[in-house]
Structure 1
Amino acid sequence: MRRTPGAIRILGGVLTLYLLAPFAAGLSRMGDADWRGVDRAALVHAACVSVASATAATVLIAVAGIPLGYVLARGRGWRVAVLGGVVQLPLALPPLASGILLLFLLGYGGLLGGLTHGALTESFAGIVLAEAFVAAPFLIVAARSAFAAIDPALEEVAATLGHGPGAVFRRIGLPLARRAILAGLLLAWLRAFGEFGATMMVAYHPYSLPVFTYVAFGGAGLPAMLPVLAPTLAVAAIVLVLGQAVAVPRRRRYGPLRDVLPPVAAGPAVVGPGRILVLDLRQKLEGFTLRVEYRTQARRLAILGASGSGKSMSLRTIAGLERGAGSVVRCDGRDLAALPPEARGIAYVPQGYALPPHLTVEEQVRFAVDSDPALVAHWMAAFGLAELAGRYPHELSPGQRQRVALARALSRPSADLVLLDEPFSALDAPLRARLRRDVLAVQGGIRATMILVTHDPVEAMLLADELLLLDGGGVIRAGPVDEVFSRPGGEVAAGLLGARTIGAGHVLSPARIDIGGGVALRVAGAPLSPGARVRWAVRPHQVRLDDRGDYAATILHRAAIRDGQRSVRLLLGDAVLDVVADPSCPDTGPCRVTIDPMALQVWPA
């Protein structure tokens, strides 16, 4: 636990003492209270008026103020900014000035006053309206801040699971902002309960407790105020205690969690072609333009690119979370681009998984509007989540949270597309490898097309049938995974696919290239044109030192052992390669290597 600096504690303590001092001074004088001159019936009536009016005003504020706070938190543009400032104006006005402004509206000469023939002044309704005016900003500001603090991904995932805007507000926004909203309601109630200036101007009668206190002070002096203060302090204390009891979160405690994950049970394989997916994704931002065109019937598609290439934006455009003018998204002829996210029939797993913290594991998995109980039970069991059904996200390990997000997506039977946005990026290497196998295990058993966004070529090779390579917002290579890997088409694409050392050569035959030094490499993939100049690359772990290998090479340098392997630099033809070798390999000198023709990437020079 971190210690608070002493100076900060002292400054906080000084203010605390100052705030408590008036209460201590008043309570110390309770023995001097003059109870004989107090009109107890009038005092009780005034207290009841204040409690009832503050409660009514708070209800009115809540009904409209909570939605207004949501609009201000989610809205954009200058109009929202102006509105956010206007609703806080009552905070800056002296209470008497607020009362005068209200009289222009509620008095006999005002718009509402004329329509109601003055019924809104000198009445209980007038007290409520005056209190609502001065107290509303306390709730609006609290609600706006609470809604703004909610991770937008939580609401976006809810929309992609079929929930409309109203349901997202009720099931995500309100529960997550609840505690801050309760605090705002408490502040608004206390402000309304203690309002004097605006109330006195609009509705001097019936007496509220502050007005009654003012009248009693003018007639009897300070000693008569002590009995009047008693109900005020009592009511305020009760409300504060109740507010704290409701607002303080209660959390269960579990022991430290480990990612002990049982194997995923794969279902029966789905055979036959996938859905026909047609994409023409367009987004234009300042300094960046996205244009991705592709048509596929593959069940598994990966979008691979560096950071800032547009791959996540592409996925969000497919999901409807980014609306690009002129974009086309068709699935089996169904036009998805014209539909909002909740109507597209998709399931979306963003980075970080976006698990609402107020829902248990079971509630997460069945959160989609059309979740199938049988599918929920199946995926809960398949991912080993049944024993965790009652836990909340903060009580889960990273691997368990990832499984919950996948189970939630797969439990929606109407989903034609399952979208995964770098689902393994935040995990350590062993867990990432384990969860890749989890996804691989379930891919063959679902009918939906799965689209994976990644920057890792290993994930793309393992989890996709077809591959889109993006750079600068455009497609630089696309097609079946094997074809794209063997013929990346250019140096940028080869780099995205993991190429480190790039060599030069020329084509001897449709399946062989000369790389100098008397070495001719066999290559797989589409036939090459003899005589053409080419570039080539191979990933370090795909070059194997072998005494009976196909190609002669020379070891130039052997590095220290790390993680049971040794990095070796060798000369192959005219190219210098960094490869991964067995720890027992020679220090330097001649050697032989084997390279799988499928591992070589070749493209025009």
Structure 2
Amino acid sequence: MNRPAARPLLWLAALLAVYLCAPFAASVPQLGAADWTGVDWRATWSAVGISAGSASVASLVILLGGVPLGYLLARSRSRKVALLGFVVQLPLALPPLTSGVLLLFLLGPYSWVGRLSGGALTDSFAGIVLAETFVAAPFLIIAAKSAFAAVDPVLDDVAATLGHHASSRFFRVMLPVAWPAIRAGLALAWLRAFGEFGATVMVAYHPYSLPVYTYVVFGGQGLPAMMPLLLPTLAIAILCAVLSILSLRQRNGAEPVEAADDALEPRTALATGRDASAGRSLAFHLHRQLGAFDLDIAWAPTTRRLAIIGPSGSGKSLALRLIAGLESNASSSVRLGDTQLDTLPPERRQIGYMPQDYGLFPHMTVAQQLAFPVDADPAGARYWLDHLGLAHLVGRLPHQLSFGQRQRVALARALTRHSELLLFDEPFAALDTPRRRRLQQSLRTLQREIAAVTIIVTHDPDEAALLADEVLVVEQGRVLQAGAIDAVFERPASMRVAALLGLHNVGEGVIGAPGRLALAAGLVFETGVREGAFAAGQRVMWRVSSHALTLMADGAHAGVVDAIELRRGERYIRVNIAGVNFDIASEDASLREGSPCRISVRAEGVDVWPVREPA
């Protein structure tokens, strides 16, 4: 902490705290001058009861209507709803007496509402409730709107993929997560309603609420007679302060995160012999227009372990959401085996969806997370709890778990429903490299056991190679290449694909004489390609195996060391030959950047294939 910078802030905080506490301190010496003998305690407690009762009824009305309104304001992007949000906050900007006058225009005895009700809405308990509701409602509505806006929409998406409809998601996920802030707004609304004077005195002078009765006593008998009436208000303020402190202590007393091992630790033997054919194949054609971005990709893989790789903004996550049904689009087609998923809402697709932060519900323990999916299998939940080493964590909340534990809980939750399709949206993106590698290995172990189709969205080629048997390379919403991992990594369709996969020793060239490849002006390699496989002058892609490149004093090709890099502890030398770079694994410490060198190339290690023309 920067103490010099923080000191002015502390002084300002202390100054404001002193000012807020000063009126209470100033009132203490005046208690001796209070007229305790002339207090009408019956009228006083009647006023307290009316204020407390009307504030409670008004708060209930505000709660029932304000929470749905706050949710609508937080989730809607409509201009009409935005205008509504502006209007419902106007009572905060109005003087209380002005609010009372406006209410008289609506509820007064000469308004159509007043005539319809026979004047029962003014000078009555109902009038007090209506006045307090008008001035106090914005406090809860603003709190609810802010609370719902702060809830991660991913939680709603995950709940949908776990089989819950909109109403169930609202009451079981959105409302509980937002409730602490809503509860604070409700407390503010109650206090505002309890202490309301201006609007109340205009709409319902009788029966006396506590603020109005205090005003009447002060006007008729003076300050000494009014002072005892401050006690109920001060008692309520002290009670609210105590409740706030207790709530803060409960939050601060939360159990800390356990520093546990992140790796998968099955308690029973892995069922690696499970029939892989039990899973069903996936096929999709996804199309979605979002402003200037147009996604249009199709894929029909033949294996169960799949990966979608591409740069940021390429449409990977959008594709995953379309498959999950979280983005509505009638023009997309998704089929899993014989089931046409695109005709089903997300809650009926029987899938598991894991976003980047795993989408655990912050208000649910591990046991509640696993029991949350619709049609969750209790026996399956117990199996996965034990199998993934989570049995001792069933009472923990997500913030009390390590990253690895959270990932295993999310996996167990998805598997509890016998999901046939598991979707992972860059599940390791936020982790450090050692932890990411451990969790990748853990997921790979689990993939061998389950029969579900898994799709990993990633921008990490190593992750795709480890966790998938087939890969789809996309950019700007279009497919650049799709196929088996080995085929795509060994023969990228274009230089752009090679760059996205992080491949080295790859480029474009031209076939010259039979068995010879021109990589650049003056640079020709012998290849193992049989005669007649390519026409002379044909443009091709080439790849040179790192094992085919050797640093030799009498090598056929002269070059210069362009750079020296360490990759996972191994030393690589980048050699520039006629403007073409080649990466060679070498432990020769005598080579430095700028050093001349010579390399030899084995013809069998030079692979050549046709260039795919862009669509």
Whether TM-score is above 0.5 comes out as yes
1:603 to 591, 608, 611: 611
Among 563, 566, 583, the alignment partner of 2:571 is 566
5 Å-filtered alignment, 1:301-340, equals 301-340=306-345
Mapped contact 1:162–1:343 kept (Cα < 8 A): yes
- Relative distance call for 1:376 and 1:555 in structure 2 (3 A) is farther
Work out the CA distance in 2 between the residues paired with 1:470 and 1:380: 36
* Per-residue CA distance 1:383-429 (angstroms, 9 max, x = gap): 2222333322222222222222222222221x232111111222222
Instruction: Identify if the C-alpha distance between structure 1 residues 560 and 497 changes in structure 2 by more than 3 Å, giving closer, same or farther.
Output: closer
| 1:221 CA drift (Å) | 0.6
The one-letter code of the counterpart of 2:585 is V
The structural deviation recorded for 1:45 is 0.7
Q: CA deviation at 1:554?
A: 6.2
Cα shift at 1:465:
2.5
Residue 481 (str. 1) matches residue 485 (str. 2): yes
Q: Which amino acid aligns with 2:362?
A: P
SS where residue 449 of structure 2 aligns? coil
Please report how far the alpha carbon of residue 291 of structure 1 lies from its aligned counterpart in structure 2 after TM superposition: 0.8
Q: Paired residue for 1:86?
A: 87
- 1:27-176 map, 5 Å: 27-176=28-177
Structure 1 residue 452 displacement after superposition: 1.3
| Residue type at the aligned position of 1:245 | L
Matched, 1:454 2:458: yes
Superimposed CA distance per residue, residues 488-525 of structure 1 (whole angstroms, 9 cap, x where no aligned partner): 2222122222224433444589999675866434479x
User: Are 1:426 and 2:430 counterparts?
Assistant: yes
Shift of 1:143: 1.2
Taking a change above 3 Å as real, the CA distance of residues 269 and 134 of structure 1, as seen in their structure-2 partners, is same
Structure 2 unmatched ranges of 5 or more:
none
**1:533 alignment partner in structure 2:** 539
Change (3 A) 1:596 1:161: farther
Q: 1:468 aligns with which of 466, 472, 475?
A: 472
Provide, for residues 75-134 of structure 1, a one-character-per-residue CA deviation record: whole Å limited to 9, x for no partner: 112122111111101111111221222222223333433332222222112111111111
Provide, for residues 428-449 of structure 1, a one-character-per-residue CA deviation record: whole Å limited to 9, x for no partner. Answer: 2222222222121122322321
Distance 1:327 1:78, change over 3 A: same
Mapped to 1, the partners of 2:9 and 2:406 lie a distance apart of: 38
In the alignment, does 2:259 pair up with 1:257?
yes
Matches of residues 111-510 of structure 1 in structure 2 within 5 Å? 111-246=112-247, 249-254=251-256, 257-264=259-266, 266-267=270-271, 268-272=273-277, 274-413=279-418, 415-506=419-510
Provide the rounded CA distance (Å) in 1 between the counterparts of 2:438 and 2:356: 17
SS in 2 for 1:171: helix
In structure 2, what is the Cα distance between the partners aligned to 1:555 and 1:398? 47
Q: What are the Cα deviations for residues 165-200 of structure 1, in whole angstroms up to 9, with x where unaligned?
A: 222222222222222112111111110000111111
User: Is the 2:257–2:399 contact (alpha carbons within 8 Å) kept by the matching residues of 1?
Assistant: no
Return closer, same or farther for 1:132/1:530 CA change in 2, 3 Å cut-off: same
Q: Hey, what's the Cα distance between the residues in 2 that align with 1:314 and 1:148?
A: 25
> Is the 8 Å Cα contact of residues 360 and 398 (structure 2) preserved in structure 1?
yes
CA contact (8 A) 2:316 2:457 kept: yes
Cα deviations across residues 520-550 of structure 1 (Å, max 9, x unaligned)? 34479xx9535333122358xx4466799xx
Decide whether the 8 Å contact of 2:505 with 2:581 is kept in 1: yes
SS in 2 for 1:353: coil
**Distance in 2 of aligned mates of 1:411 and 1:431:** 25
User: In 1, are the aligned partners of 2:550 and 2:584 still within 8 Å (CA)?
Assistant: no
CA distance in 1, matches of 2:166, 2:225: 55
Are the counterparts in 2 of residues 380 and 407 from structure 1 also a CA contact under 8 Å? Answer: yes
Quote how far apart the aligned CAs of 1:311 are. Answer: 0.9
Decide whether aligned partners of structure 1 residues 331 and 113 sit closer, same or farther in structure 2, where only a CA change above 3 A counts.
farther
Q: State how far apart, in whole Å, the 2-side matches of 1:512 and 1:371 are.
A: 62
Letter in 1 for 2:458: T
**Change in CA separation of 1:258 and 1:508 when aligned onto 2, cut-off 3 Å:** farther
CA-to-partner distance for each residue in 1:20-65, whole Å, 9 max, x for gaps? Answer: 2222222220001101221111011111111111111111111111
- CA-CA distance at 1:570 after TM superposition: 4.0
1:247: how far off? 5.7
Unmatched 5+ residue regions in structure 1? none
Deviation at 1:573, TM superposition (A): 9.8
RMSD of aligned residue pairs (Cα, Å): 3.1
How has the CA–CA distance of structure 1 residues 59 and 599 changed in structure 2, closer, same or farther, with 3 Å as cutoff? farther
Residue type matched to 1:252 in 2?
A
Counterpart-to-counterpart distance in 2, 1:603 and 1:111: 80
The structure-2 alpha-carbon separation of the partners of 1:411 and 1:513, relative to structure 1 and needing over 3 Å to count, comes to farther
Query: Which residue identity lines up with residue 322 of structure 1 in the other structure?
Result: E
In structure 2, how many angstroms separate the alpha carbons of the residues matched to 1:25 and 1:376?
62
Instruction: Tell me how many residue pairs correspond in the alignment.
Output: 598
The counterpart of 1:520, out of the listed 509, 526, 534, is 526
Letter paired with 1:257: A
Residue 181 of structure 2 aligns with an amino acid whose one-letter code is: A
Deviation at 1:583, TM superposition (A): 5.7
Q: In structure 2, do the counterparts of structure 1 residues 59 and 554 end up closer, same or farther at CA, with 3 Å as the change threshold?
A: same
Compare 552-561 and 371-380 and name the one that shifted more: 552-561
Does structure 1 conserve the Cα–Cα contact (< 8 Å) formed by 2:540 and 2:609? no
TM-score by length of 2: 0.88
Q: Map 1:564-603 to 2 at 5 A.
A: 564-570=569-575, 575-582=580-587, 589-590=597-598, 603=611
> Does the 8 Å CA contact 2:262/2:402 hold for their aligned counterparts?
no
Give 1:226 deviation, angstroms: 0.9
1:274–1:298 contact (8 Å) kept in structure 2: no
Relative to structure 1, the CA distance from residue 598 to residue 461 in structure 2 (aligned partners, 3 Å threshold; closer, same or farther) is farther
Please state how far the C-alpha of 1:377 moved relative to its aligned partner: 2.4
Sort the Cα spacing of 1:144 and 1:48 in 2 relative to 1 into closer, same or farther, 3 A: same
The 1:219/1:468 distance shift into structure 2, 3 A limit, reads same
Q: Normalized against structure 1, the TM-score is what?
A: 0.90
